C-alpha cells in the first residue's frame, strides 16, 4: 500500500482495498481516473433515449446513433459491416454508434438472409443510400433552422456546419428532420473519402461473446418457457411404429411426452413446400421438461419401435450408384462449347481422373435450437436461423396462420455453414408449442443434429482433358451427386471460356437422406477436383502450374459471353499477387508448395500452401491467400472470414469422413468424427487486391481452393496424387500432422 501512494497514486480516488477473511488485501484500480482524474465515465449508449428516424436508424438528443443490422449474424460479420455502410454515409463517429440486431421485417428490409455470401454485396448501395439520405434530411432541417440554403451546409462526425461557421449536432435537429420529405438521388461518397469503410473495426458483439453474455439462441429465455427434446428416427428410411414413455415420465423435471408430425404431413400434402423445408414426415416423440437436462434424460429413457418405410441406404451403394451415373447417358448438359467429341478424337493425349467426396455434417458449435410461443392470436418465434422470412412463411402455412400475426426475433448464431438455411428446428418448435399451448424452446444435442440433420451431398467428379500441341483443347466434366447437383452458374466458372471445346454434365441420385447447402455448396469439393486436375495437366505439359492458369485466362479476357461469371483480368491479378506474396518457387529447401485458384460467390481467390515433411507425413506450415473481393468494408472481419474458410477447407479435406450403413450415420459426435485440431492449423496470411469495385462475398470463397492447394503441395512433396477426401485415408495412419 505504501509503495503505491509513494508513486503519486491517490488512495482516495484510485484505490479500493478490502481486507479478506483470510487476512489478504483485494486492491482494485480505476485506471481511467488514474490516468485522467477529471475524466467522465463513457456514455452507456444502450441506455440513451433514442428518436426513431427510419427502420435502420435512431438518433438520440445527444447525437448518438443506434443502427439496426437487418441480416442474420452467423459469424460472418454483417452485424458489424452492414451498420458500417450506414454510418459511413451518415457521417457519424463510429464510437457514437450502437448496433442492434434487427428482427424480421419484410415491410422495411429486403433479403434478410444469411446465405451465398451475398449480404454485403446486395446491401452495398442500399444501406449507404439509407445513411446518405438521413444525413441530407438532417442537413435540410439545420438549414431550415438557420434559414439558409441547404447546399451551403455540410456534415461531418455528427456535426452540421453552415458557411458562416455555425454548427448544430444531429441530436439538435433529429426531431425536425424525421418529419421532412425524403430526398431522392442523394450523392454517395467516393471511396477516397471513406472514413469508416476500410477501417479495422472490432466485432460489435465481441465483449458479450468473450464474457458469456446472452446473445445466442441457446441463451434465449422467457417466463413460463419449457424445454423440448425431440426423438427422431435413428435411420433414414424409418418411421415411428410405437413408443413407451413410462420411464421417461419418471425422470424428475419431465412434464409430458407428446408426438408431432401431423401438421408436417398436411403441409407437405398441400404442395406449398419450399426449398428450406427438409423434414421427415414421420411422427416424432417429444419430451417436454422444466429444463434441458431433464428433457435430454427423458428422451434417453424413451422406448421406441421404428419400422422401415423406404430403403435403408449405405455409402457403399451410393458409391456404386454414382459411378453408374457417370458412366450412363442420362446426364443433363449445363454448358457446352465447341465440338468436344472432335477435340478428344484428334487429341495427342487424353487425361481422365475421378474424384470422390463423402457426405459431411455441418457441425455448428451451437446445436440446433429455437423458441416458439403459439397462441390463438399470435406467434412469437426467436432463435438462430439463416432464412427468417422463409421460416415465418412456412410456420404460417403449417399452422394456418396469418403471416402478419407472426413475429420473429433473430439471435446470433453459433455457426451456420448452410445448416440453418433449413428451418426444420423452427417448424418443430412451432408445432410443439401449438400442441402444448405453452412457450417452448426446442434444444437438440450434438448427436441429434449429426445423425438426423442435413448433409453436404456425396459427390463424384470425372474430368477428362484433351491435349494437343502442348495446349488444353478439350475439357469434359461430369458430376454425380446424392440429392442434387451444382446450380447453373457454376458451369460458367473457370475454366469456362478458357478452353474452346468444353462440356459440363450432371446427374443425381434421389436419396431419402436429407442433403443441402454446406459452406460454398458444390464448389467446396469441385474446386479441389478441378484444381488438382489442372496441377496434373501442368505436370503432363511440363509447364509451371501457375503459368498454365495464367495462359488459359488470356483466352477469356474481353469475352462477350455474358454467361461467364468470373473476370479473367481480376483472376490474373489475384494469382499474380499470391505468387508474389507466397514466394512461389523461392522457398527454402524442404518446403514444398501447392497452388490453387478459384472463383465463387463473385470473389476471386488464389492460395499457396507450404508444407514440410515430418516422419514422412505432411505438415502444413503456412497458407498464403490473395483475394479480390472489391472494396474491403472491414479488414478485420474480412481476414477472419478468409482465415476461417481456409482452416475449414483444410480440416475437412484432410480429416472429415462421414458415411452411412443401413440408413444410419457412422458418427454421432466428435469422438468419432475427426475435425482439424489447434496444433494442426497453419499460419494463414491474407492479402487483398486493391481496387474501388463494389464488394463481393467473403464468408465462403476462401474455402474451395484450400483443399486443392494442400493436395498439390502433398504431391510436390511425395509425388502422390490424391483423388479422394479425406486425405488422411491415403496415408493409412491414425493421424496426419496438420
Rounded mean pLDDT, 389-409: 97
Confidence (pLDDT) at 733: 63
Mean pLDDT of the chain: 93
Using the predicted structure, report yes or no on whether residue 8 has a pLDDT greater than 60.
no
Q: How does DSSP classify residue 107? A: T
Confidence (pLDDT) at 734: 56
Q: How does DSSP classify residue 218? A: G
Confidence (pLDDT) at 61: 92
Using the predicted structure, report yes or no on whether residue 10 has a pLDDT greater than 80.
no
Rounded mean pLDDT, 209-224: 97
What band does 737 get if pLDDT is binned at 50, 70 and 90?
A: low
Nearest CA-CA partner of 514 in 230, 317, 115, 237: 237
What band does 38 get if pLDDT is binned at 50, 70 and 90?
A: very low
Q: How does DSSP classify residue 458? A: P
Which positions ≥6 away from 92 have C-beta within 8 Å? 63, 65, 157, 158, 170
Distance CA 323, CA 481 (A): 10
Confidence (pLDDT) at 42: 61
Rounded mean pLDDT, 482-510: 97
Segment 262-320, tens digit of pLDDT: 999 999 999 998 899 999 899 999 999 999 999 999 999 999 999 999 999 999 999 99
Using the predicted structure, report yes or no on whether residue 33 has a pLDDT greater than 60.
no
Percentage of the chain exceeding pLDDT 70: 93
Per the structure block, which three cell numbers stand in for 724? 479422394
Sheet containing strand 369-374, strands side by side: 254-260, 284-289, 226-231, 440-443, 369-374, 379-383, 406-410
Rounded mean pLDDT, 540-554: 98
Beta strand pairing call for 254-260 and 284-289: antiparallel
Segment 436-447, tens digit of pLDDT: 999 999 999 999
Write a three-state SS string for 656-698.
Answer: CCCCEECCEECCCCCCCCCCCCHHHCCEEEEEECCCCCCCCCC
Among 12-21, 249-258, 461-470, 648-657, the range scoring the smallest mean pLDDT is 12-21
**Cα 359 to the chain's mean position, in Å?**
19
CB atoms within 10 A of CB 22: 5
Is residue 337 classed exposed, middle or buried when 0-12, 13-18 and 19+ CB atoms within 10 A define those classes? middle
Confidence (pLDDT) at 6: 33
Segment 329-381, tens digit of pLDDT: 999 999 999 999 999 999 999 999 999 999 999 999 999 999 999 999 999 99
Percentage of the chain exceeding pLDDT 90: 91
Distance CA 550, CA 410 (A): 44
Among 129-133, 152-156, 251-255, 275-279, the range scoring the smallest mean pLDDT is 275-279
What band does 14 get if pLDDT is binned at 50, 70 and 90?
A: very low
Using the predicted structure, report yes or no on whether residue 12 has a pLDDT greater than 60.
no
What band does 4 get if pLDDT is binned at 50, 70 and 90?
A: very low
Confidence (pLDDT) at 355: 98
- Taking the complete model, does pTM exceed 0.75, yes or no? yes
Nearest CA-CA partner of 652 in 704, 604, 698: 704
How far from 541 is each of 384, 469, 534, 647, 720, CA to CA, in Å?
Answer: 50, 10, 10, 31, 18
Q: How does DSSP classify residue 143? A: H
Distance CA 526, CA 486 (A): 9
Greater model confidence, 38 or 343: 343
Confidence (pLDDT) at 32: 32
Amino acid at each position: 500500500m505504501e509503495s503505491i501512494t509513494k508513486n503519486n497514486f491517490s488512495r482516495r480516488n484510485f484505490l479500493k482495498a478490502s481486507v479478506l477473511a483470510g487476512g489478504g488485501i483485494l486492491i482494485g484500480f480505476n485506471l481511467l481516473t488514474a490516468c485522467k482524474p477529471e475524466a467522465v465515465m463513457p456514455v452507456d449508449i444502450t441506455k440513451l433515449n433514442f428518436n426513431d428516424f427510419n427502420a435502420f436508424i435512431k438518433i438520440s438528443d445527444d447525437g448518438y446513433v443506434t443502427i439496426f443490422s437487418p441480416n442474420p449474424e452467423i459469424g460472418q460479420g454483417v452485424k458489424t459491416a452492414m451498420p458500417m455502410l450506414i454510418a459511413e454515409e451518415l457521417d457519424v463517429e463510429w464510437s457514437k454508434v450502437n448496433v442492434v440486431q434487427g428482427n424480421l421485417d419484410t415491410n422495411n428490409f429486403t433479403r434478410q438472409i444469411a446465405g451465398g455470401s451475398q449480404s454485403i454485396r446486395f446491401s452495398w448501395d442500399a444501406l449507404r443510400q439509407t445513411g446518405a439520405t438521413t444525413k441530407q434530411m438532417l442537413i435540410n432541417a439545420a438549414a431550415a433552422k438557420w434559414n439558409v440554403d441547404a447546399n451551403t451546409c455540410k456534415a461531418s462526425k455528427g456535426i452540421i456546419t453552415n458557411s458562416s461557421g455555425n454548427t448544430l449536432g444531429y441530436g439538435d435537429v433529429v426531431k425536425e428532420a424525421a418529419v421532412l420529405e425524403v430526398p431522392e438521388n442523394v450523392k454517395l461518397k467516393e471511396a477516397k473519402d471513406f472514413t469508416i469503410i476500410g477501417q479495422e473495426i472490432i466485432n460489435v458483439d465481441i465483449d458479450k461473446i468473450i464474457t458469456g453474455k446472452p446473445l445466442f439462441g441457446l441463451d434465449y429465455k422467457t417466463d413460463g418457457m419449457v424445454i423440448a427434446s425431440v426423438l427422431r428416427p435413428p435411420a433414414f428410411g424409418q418411421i415411428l411404429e410405437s413408443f413407451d414413455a413410462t420411464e421417461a415420465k419418471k425422470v424428475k423435471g419431465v412434464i409430458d411426452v407428446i408426438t408431432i408430425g401431423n401438421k408436417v404431413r398436411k403441409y407437405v400434402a398441400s404442395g406449398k413446400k419450399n426449398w428450406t423445408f427438409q423434414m421427415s414426415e414421420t411422427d416424432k416423440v417429444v419430451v417436454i421438461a422444466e429444463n434441458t437436462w431433464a428433457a435430454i434424460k427423458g428422451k434417453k429413457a424413451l422406448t421406441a419401435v421404428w419400422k422401415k418405410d423406404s430403403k435403408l441406404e449405405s455409402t457403399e451403394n451410393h458409391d456404386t450408384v454414382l459411378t453408374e451415373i457417370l458412366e450412363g447417358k442420362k446426364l443433363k448438359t449445363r454448358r457446352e462449347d465447341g465440338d468436344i467429341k472432335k477435340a478428344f478424337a484428334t487429341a495427342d493425349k487424353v487425361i481422365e481422373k475421378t474424384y470422390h467426396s463423402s457426405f459431411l455434417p455441418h457441425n455448428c458449435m451451437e446445436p440446433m435450437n429455437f423458441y416458439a410461443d403459439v397462441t390463438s392470436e399470435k406467434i412469437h418465434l426467436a432463435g438462430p436461423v439463416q432464412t427468417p422470412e422463409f421460416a415465418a412463411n412456412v410456420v404460417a402455412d403449417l399452422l394456418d396462420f396469418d403471416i402478419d400475426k407472426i413475429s420473429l426475433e433473430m439471435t446470433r448464431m453459433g455457426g451456420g455453414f448452410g445448416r440453418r438455411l433449413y428451418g426444420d428446428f423452427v417448424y418443430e418448435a412451432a408445432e410443439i408449442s401449438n400442441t402444448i399451448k405453452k412457450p417452448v424452446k426446442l434444444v437438440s444435442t450434438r448427436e441429434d443434429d449429426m445423425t438426423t440433420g442435413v448433409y453436404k451431398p456425396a459427390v463424384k467428379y470425372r474430368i477428362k482433358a484433351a491435349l494437343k500441341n502442348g495446349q488444353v483443347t478439350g475439357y469434359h466434366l461430369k458430376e454425380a451427386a446424392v440429392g442434387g447437383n451444382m446450380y447453373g452458374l457454376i458451369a460458367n466458372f473457370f475454366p469456362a471460356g478458357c478452353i474452346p471445346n468444353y462440356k459440363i454434365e450432371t446427374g443425381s441420385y434421389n436419396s431419402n437422406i436429407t442433403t443441402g447447402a454446406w459452406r460454398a455448396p458444390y464448389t467446396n469439393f469441385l474446386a479441389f477436383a478441378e484444381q488438382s486436375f489442372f496441377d496434373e495437366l501442368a505436370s503432363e505439359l511440363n509447364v509451371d502450374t501457375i503459368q498454365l492458369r495464367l495462359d488459359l485466362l488470356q483466352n477469356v479476357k474481353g469475352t462477350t459471353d455474358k454467361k461467364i461469371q468470373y473476370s479473367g483480368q481480376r483472376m490474373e491479378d489475384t494469382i499474380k499477387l499470391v505468387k508474389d506474396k507466397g514466394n512461389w518457387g523461392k522457398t527454402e529447401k524442404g518446403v514444398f508448395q501447392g497452388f490453387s485458384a478459384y472463383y465463387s460467390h463473385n470473389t476471386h481467390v488464389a492460395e499457396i500452401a507450404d508444407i514440410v515433411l515430418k516422419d514422412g507425413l505432411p505438415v502444413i506450415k503456412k497458407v498464403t491467400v490473395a483475394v479480390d473481393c472489391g472494396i474491403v468494408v472491414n479488414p478485420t472481419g474480412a481476414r477472419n472470414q478468409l482465415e476461417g474458410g481456409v482452416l475449414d477447407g483444410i480440416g475437412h479435406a484432410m480429416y472429415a469422413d462421414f458415411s452411412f450403413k443401413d440408413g444410419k450415420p457412422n458418427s454421432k459426435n466428435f469422438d468419432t468424427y475427426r475435425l482439424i485440431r489447434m496444433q494442426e492449423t497453419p499460419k494463414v496470411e491474407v492479402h487483398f487486391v486493391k481496387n474501388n469495385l463494389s464488394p463481393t462475398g467473403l464468408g465462403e470463397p476462401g474455402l474451395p481452393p484450400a483443399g486443392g492447394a494442400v493436395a498439390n503441395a502433398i504431391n510436390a512433396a511425395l509425388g502422390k496424387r490424391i483423388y479422394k477426401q479425406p486425405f488422411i485415408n491415403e496415408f493409412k495412419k491414425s493421424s496426419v500432422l496438420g
